[in-house]
Structure 1
C-alpha cells in the first residue's frame, strides 16, 4: 500500500464513527428543543381564556413570535459547530490511520 492511502477498513470505521456521533448529536439537539419548547402548548392551554384578558393574547404571541427564536438560533448554532467539529475530528482520525 502506498503512503497516504487509507485502508478500506479504516475508512469504514471512521465513517461509522462519524455517523454514530452525528446521530447522537442530532438526537441531543432535538431533545433540547423538545424539552425547552415542547411544554409551551401546555403552558398556553393552562392560561385563562385570552379573550377575557386583553394582555394575555399579546403575551402568547410575543412568546411565540419573539422569545422562541433565540432558543432556536442558539441550539442551531451549537449543533452546527459541534457537527463540524465531529467531521474535522473524524477526518483527522482517518488521516492518522
Structure 2
C-alpha cells in the first residue's frame, strides 16, 4: 500500500547528523543523468537504424563473416566424416576390426557424428558471438 503524499517520512536534517568517532560525514551529490556517460559516435548507430548504404554494408560484412565461419566448419565436418569411408576402403583390415563383437567402423559411423556435430555447433556459436561483439565494438567506437 502506498502512503498518501501528506504522510511522507521526514528526512533528518544533515546539519544535526553526527558521524561515528574518527570519521566525517560526506555530502553526496545526486544527479539524475550522468552527462559524461557514453559519448560514442552516433553516426554508425544512426546509419544502422536508418538503413543507409553504410549501415547495410556493415550488416552485410557481419553476415558474410558468419557465413564464412559456418561454411568453414561445415566443410571441416564433412571432410572428417567423408574421410571415414575412404579410410575403410583403403585399409580393409581396419574396416573389419571389431572390439567386443562390435565393428569399429559401425561405431565410428554411428556414434562419432553426434559429438562432432555438437562440437561444430558449439564452435560456430562461439565464433558467431565473437563476430557480433566485434561488430558492436566497431559500431560503438
1:6 match: secondary structure: helix
Structure 1 residue aligned with 2:111: 66
Check 1:88–1:45 CA distance in 2 against 1; reply closer, same or farther (3 A cut): same
Moved over 6 A (4+): none
Cα 1:95/1:11, change in 2 over 3 Å: farther
Could you tell me which residue of structure 2 aligns to residue 45 of structure 1? 89
Task: Establish whether residue 27 from structure 1 lines up as the match of residue 71 from structure 2.
Answer: yes
Give distance in 1, aligned partners of 2:83 and 2:111. Answer: 17
| Greater RCO, CA 8 A, separation 6+ | 1
Contact 1:29–1:75, Cα closer than 8 Å, also in 2: yes
Residue ranges of structure 1 left out of the alignment (5+ in a row)? none
CA RMSD of aligned residues (A): 2.6
Higher-Rg member (1/2): 2
Q: How many residue pairs are counted as aligned between the two chains?
A: 91
Answer 1 or 2: which has greater helix percent: 1
What TM-score does the superposition give when structure 1 sets the normalisation length? 0.71
- Structure 2 residues without counterparts, runs of 5 or longer: 1-40
Is residue 2:49 matched to residue 1:6? no
